[in-house]
Structures are given as C-alpha cells and as structure tokens.
C-alpha cells in the first residue's frame, strides 16, 4: 500500500495535470513552436540516479523536436509515476517546456510545485524561480517577476549564465520604472559574468544608459554609489563628454585613475573605440556608413533606414552598409564620425539630428568622405556635405512650386489648430509667396468639430479657375475636413500634402473623391516602386509600423544617392522610392513626389498636378 505522504503527493500531481488542461487542447496535435525573438531561458540540468521511464523518454524526444506542449504533458505524467528527486526533476522539465510552449500560467503552477517540494537543491530552486519570473513577465506581472529574480540572485548555487540573464532583465525592468541608477548597478555587476559578444552588448547597454542621462544626474550618482566599478563608468562617461578628442579623453582617464588609486580597471577599449561590436579588423572598410540615432524615439526609425540601405546594397551589389549608432550626445557623434573615417567608411548617411549635424560639420575636413545629412541646418554648407530633408514640409513646398508652374495663382489655406499643421502651412505660404502666388485667406479648424465661421467665410466666395484650397489634414480627419469644404464650395480644387496613413486611405472615404495629394511612390504603389526591395524588407521588417515603412524607403534612396556621390554623378536624377531625386544648388538633394487622386475610395496615380479648370 502506498504511504500516506506519497499518496498525497501523487494526488496533488494528478490535480496539477488536471489544472494544466490548457496544455491539452494545444498538445493534442504536435506543433513546432516558432523560435523566440529573445534567447530562450537557460535550463538547469538536474541529473537523476533513476533510469528514465518510457513516458519521460518520450517527453525528451518531443522536447528535442520542438513539441513543447506535448513534452510538458508527458513530463507531468512521468512525475506522477516517479518519486523523490526524480519526480521534482520531471516537474522542472515540464515547467520549462510549458514556458517554451507559451503557457506561462501552467509554467508558474509547475514551478510552484518544484519550490514546494525542493528545499535542498539550490540549482533546482534557482531554475524554478527563473521560470516563474519569466512566466510572470509574460503575463505582465513585473513586480512579481522582480521579486523572483532578486530571490534567484540571493541563491549561491544559481548558474552564472542564469544570474547574468537575471541581472540584465532586472536592469530593463528598473529602467522602465525610472530607477536608472539601480539598473546601472545590475548591468555593471553582471558584466563579470559575461564574455565575447555578450559582454560587448552589455557595454553597449551601459553606455546607452549613461549617455541618456544629463550631466548633473551623473554627477549626483557619483556621490550616491559606493561601487568602485560604477564609479569608474560614471567617471568615464563624464570625461567623455568633456573630452570628445580620443587622445585627450584617454589622457584624462589616466589622470583620473592616478588620482583615484585602488579602482579595478574596466575595459577602456570600449571607450577609446566608438565602433566596437565585432572583432573583425576595420569592419567599416569600404562601407557606406549609417550614422544614425540608436536611442529615444528615433531608434526604430533609424533601424528601418539602415534596413533599407542594406536592402539596396544587396540588390545593387554595391558597398556594404555599416551602422554607427549615435546616442544624441553631439560630442560622441563627432567621435563616431572620426572613428568611422579611420576604419574605412567611404561615405556617410547621417547624421539626422540638428545638433549632430552641427557637431560633425565642425570636425569634418574638406578631404574627409562625403556625407548625406538627413536634415537641413541653416548656415551649414560644406563641399562634400549634402542634405536630404526627411521632413513633411517637402510635400507642402512641392505643391506650391508645381501648382504655380501649372498656372494657379491664388491659394486658400486651411490647417488644423496644432503645431504640426502650423509649421506645414507656414512652409507652403513662404514658398508660394516667394514664387509670386497670392494667398486668398488663411483659416484654422479644430479636427472633429464643425468649421468655424472664419473657415466657412474663407471658402464661401467664388474662387477663379486659378485658385485652389491648400488643406493640411491627416488620414483620420481628412473625410470630415473635405466634406465640410464641399458643403461650402463644391467645385474648388483641394490639394493636400501626404494624405495617406501608411499605404492606405482612411476607412471612411465618402467625402474624399476629387481630392489630390502628393506622396512617395513607395506609399502610393509600393509593389511597383521596387518589387524586389518590398519582398526583402517585408522579411527584414515583418512588423514594421507605417512610419518605419516610410523610413525604409529613405534607406533605399539614400544608399543609391550615396553611390551617385561616390561616382561623382551629380547631374542625372534618380527615380527613387521616395520620389524623383536630384541635386540642386548648395549641395541639396530635393525630391518630387508622385501626385494622386482619390476616386470612389480608390487611389489613382496622376502624371502631375491637375491643370486649372480640369
């Protein structure tokens, strides 16, 4: 007869199996789990002295072939058949398989059982806490996850690789909560547990965290941290800001170390070299280098531009693309630029941010490689420094120039009451008046509300055939704005910059028929703009947002324009993804986008601006 304690355990395990019915529906048919985007949680092997049962052997085969939910189910059955340490081992295997099979609730339940049964095996306890932490994170329960991770770090038997992953995860959680100094401590404490590319990535995270903080905060942290390694990282960060020149910086670091004896040396090679995520000598040799932001709101957009550049390089069989990641610190950007030159960059795309463009222009020599800056900064003009604006004002200026060229002479301007709308209409009016066009009137409106008396009065006259309405709107509010215009004036032409949201019209297009707009060929007809690039980028950026998809088009075009600069071909135009690009005075690259009209809820490409009276 089974002893009462063993009977109680078996009954509990059978209840666990019953509670884990979430496994059954998915596990009834084997399915291979797709590879996770992040490395799978590190498993802790716990050998058993008892030969594996047939059920456990089958579970192992299922786990090895990616059928994680079936494996978890069989490991639970094997645990119900076993005793002692073997039973706990099988439960741990079931918990890990459940987590890999995207069943965090079941994984937590099984890890709880391991922790209840196991008190002496530190490795098993840390493995169970790690699974629980991952499960809680998958469910969005970050406070519970943090508690498990911190308990895991207190166990001396926790394997080194699990300890390192836990510290990295805690750093992420504390950064999200605004406790950056605590996050910095975890990253630096975990540094000694890493090697190879892992330590290079950890150093990148440390530098990114430090670079995102104001100088005053770093100075405050120096007085709060008692960790010598943290003190050194803080000192290096502050010295780097004060000494952008690599040689001066290294001398300042050496002076600091002399004045602060007893500090353990950190790896200063990561601070002397700004480009350092590979052991390959001269990684940028012969490349077109993307000098773009890697933090803040620009990070994902920069990623898309770089992906577009790499796609163009692959399809053109041209120079390789090398990403140099800036942090918003202009001095650091200048150092990156000079380092890129030493490592063999033939041309640069970027910087993007005005402060970075100014910093690079200040250190660049006429003999240095050419640059295509992704913005226009007043007063910055150099031989070999070209500018291509990514701003939406390009569409407004194009409508002004091409409408005037087509014979229009009077424009009525209508824009929403926000800073973006004000900036776009100001660019249009400045260009229009410079050409000699007349502004018949300017009025604002509040999106989602009826037009003001001022707006209605503006449109209620009888504009001549040489007149049009310049409407600033977005996809969400376009239908209401156009419908309101048509209630007052049914015939006046309406031109709008960048009407589309992504590559689609708004869901409600009842009032949009007859409106004309300009946008990228890539957006109006992506499949015909560059079909091979579309296919490759859909693989590289499978979950790209609308903004990222637009930026990928800029990557395609900036790479090809960089090739033109290297070939000294600045006379011919390029039919690009973002428009027709060509070089003009003062080393500017301008682009003319494609005209389109909305007809019965469809996008109809146009050969150009509609003529007056048509």
The number of domains in the chain is: 4
Model confidence at 283, in pLDDT bands (50, 70, 90)? Answer: low
The answer to whether the CB of 599 falls within 8 A of the CB of 513 is yes
Cα angle, residue 194 at apex, residues 342 and 199 outer, rounded to 5°: 20
Q: What is the mean pLDDT of residues 559-567?
A: 94
Q: Are residues 89 and 164 in the same domain?
A: yes
* Residues in Cβ contact with 240 at an 8 Å cutoff, skipping those fewer than 6 apart: 249, 271, 331, 332
- Point out the domain boundary residue: 272, 303, 333: 272
Q: Are residues 383 and 438 in the same domain?
A: no
* β-strands 410-416, 467-471 pairing: parallel
- Does position 342 have pLDDT exceeding 80, yes or no? yes
Query: What is the CATH classification number for the domain harbouring 367?
Result: 3.40.50.2300
Whole-Å CA distances, 17 to 10, 96, 111? 11, 15, 13
- Does position 439 have pLDDT exceeding 80, yes or no? yes
Query: What is the CATH classification number for the domain harbouring 58?
Result: 1.25.40.10
Q: Are residues 25 and 119 in the same domain?
A: yes
- Does position 146 have pLDDT exceeding 80, yes or no? yes
Q: Are residues 292 and 342 in the same domain?
A: yes
Q: What is the mean pLDDT of residues 564-582?
A: 91
Distance CA 573, CA 581 (A): 6
Largest CA distance in the chain: 102
608 found inside a domain: no
Distance CA 67, CA 529 (A): 42
Q: Are residues 169 and 228 in the same domain?
A: no
Q: Residue 147's domain spans which residues?
A: 4-177
Q: Which range among 23-37, 277-291, 507-521, 575-589 shows the weakest confidence by mean pLDDT?
A: 23-37
Q: Which residue has the tokens 């903080």?
A: 213
Q: Are residues 366 and 484 in the same domain?
A: no
The answer to whether the CB of 169 falls within 8 A of the CB of 152 is no
* Residues in Cβ contact with 292 at an 8 Å cutoff, skipping those fewer than 6 apart: 298, 302, 305, 306, 323, 324, 325, 326, 349, 350, 351, 352, 374
Ramachandran angles phi, psi of 352, nearest 5°: -115, -50
What sign for the dihedral angle of Cα 26, 28, 34, 35? positive
Global confidence as pTM: 0.55
The mean pLDDT of the chain is 80
The pLDDT value given to residue 419: 66
Q: Are residues 320 and 206 in the same domain?
A: no
The pLDDT value given to residue 309: 95
Query: At 284, is the secondary structure helix, strand, or coil?
Result: coil
The pLDDT value given to residue 4: 44
């Amino acid at each position: 007869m089974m002893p009462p304690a063993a009977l109680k355990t078996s009954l509990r395990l059978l209840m666990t199996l019953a509670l884990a019915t979430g496994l059954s529906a998915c596990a009834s048919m084997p399915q291979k789990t797709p590879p996770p985007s992040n490395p799978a949680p590190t498993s802790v092997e716990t050998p058993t002295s008892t030969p594996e049962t047939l059920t456990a052997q089958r579970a192992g085969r299922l786990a090895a072939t990616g059928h994680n939910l079936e494996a978890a189910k069989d490991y639970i059955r094997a645990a119900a058949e076993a005793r002692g340490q073997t039973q706990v081992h099988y439960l741990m295997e079931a918990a890990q398989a459940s987590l890999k099979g995207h069943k965090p609730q079941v994984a937590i339940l099984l890890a709880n059982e391991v922790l209840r049964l196991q008190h002496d095996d530190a490795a098993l306890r840390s493995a169970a806490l790690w699974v629980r932490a991952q499960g809680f994170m998958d469910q969005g329960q970050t406070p519970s996850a943090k508690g498990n991770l911190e308990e895991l770090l207190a166990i001396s038997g926790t394997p080194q690789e699990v300890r390192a992953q836990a510290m990295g995860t805690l750093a992420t959680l504390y950064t999200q909560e605004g406790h950056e100094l605590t996050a910095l401590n975890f990253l630096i404490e975990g540094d000694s547990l890493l090697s190879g590319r892992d330590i290079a990535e950890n150093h990148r995270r440390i530098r990114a965290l430090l670079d995102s903080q104001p100088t005053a905060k770093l100075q405050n942290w120096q007085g709060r941290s008692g960790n010598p390694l943290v003190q050194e990282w803080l000192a290096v960060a502050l010295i780097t800001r004060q000494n952008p020149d690599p040689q001066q910086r290294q001398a300042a670091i050496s002076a600091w170390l002399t004045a602060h004896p007893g500090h353990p040396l950190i790896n200063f090679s990561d601070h002397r070299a700004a480009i350092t995520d590979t052991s390959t000598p001269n990684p940028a040799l012969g490349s077109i280098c993307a000098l773009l932001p890697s933090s803040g709101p620009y990070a994902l957009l920069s990623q898309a531009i770089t992906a577009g550049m790499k796609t163009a390089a692959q399809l053109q069989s041209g120079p390789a693309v090398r990403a140099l990641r800036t942090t918003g610190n202009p001095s650091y950007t200048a150092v990156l630029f000079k380092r890129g030159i030493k490592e063999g960059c033939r041309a640069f795309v970027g910087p993007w941010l005005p402060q970075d463009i100014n910093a690079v222009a200040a250190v660049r020599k006429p003999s240095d490689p050419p640059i295509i800056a992704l913005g226009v900064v007043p007063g910055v003009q150099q031989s070999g420094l070209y500018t291509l604006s990514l701003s939406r004002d390009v569409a407004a200026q194009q409508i002004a120039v091409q409408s005037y060229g087509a014979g229009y002479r009077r424009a009525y301007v209508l824009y929403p009451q926000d800073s973006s709308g004000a900036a776009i209409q100001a660019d249009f009016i400045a260009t229009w008046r410079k050409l000699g066009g007349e502004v018949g009137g300017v009025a604002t409106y509040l999106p989602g509300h009826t037009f003001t008396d001022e707006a209605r009065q503006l449109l209620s006259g009888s504009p001549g055939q040489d007149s049009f309405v310049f409407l600033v709107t977005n996809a969400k509010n376009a239908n209401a704005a156009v419908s309101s215009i048509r209630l007052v004036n049914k015939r006046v032409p309406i031109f709008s910059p960048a009407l589309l949201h992504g590559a689609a019209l708004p869901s409600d297009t009842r009032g949009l028929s007859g409106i004309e707009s300009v946008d990228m060929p890539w957006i109006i007809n992506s499949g015909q703009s560059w079909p091979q690039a579309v296919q490759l980028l859909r693989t590289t950026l499978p979950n790209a947002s609308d903004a990222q998809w637009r930026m990928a088009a800029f990557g395609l075009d900036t790479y090809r324009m960089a090739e033109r600069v290297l070939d000294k071909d600045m006379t011919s135009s390029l039919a690009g993804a973002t428009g027709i690009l060509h070089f003009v005075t003062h080393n500017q690259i301008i682009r003319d986008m494609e005209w389109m009209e909305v007809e019965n809820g469809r996008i109809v490409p146009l050969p150009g601006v509609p003529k007056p009276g048509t």
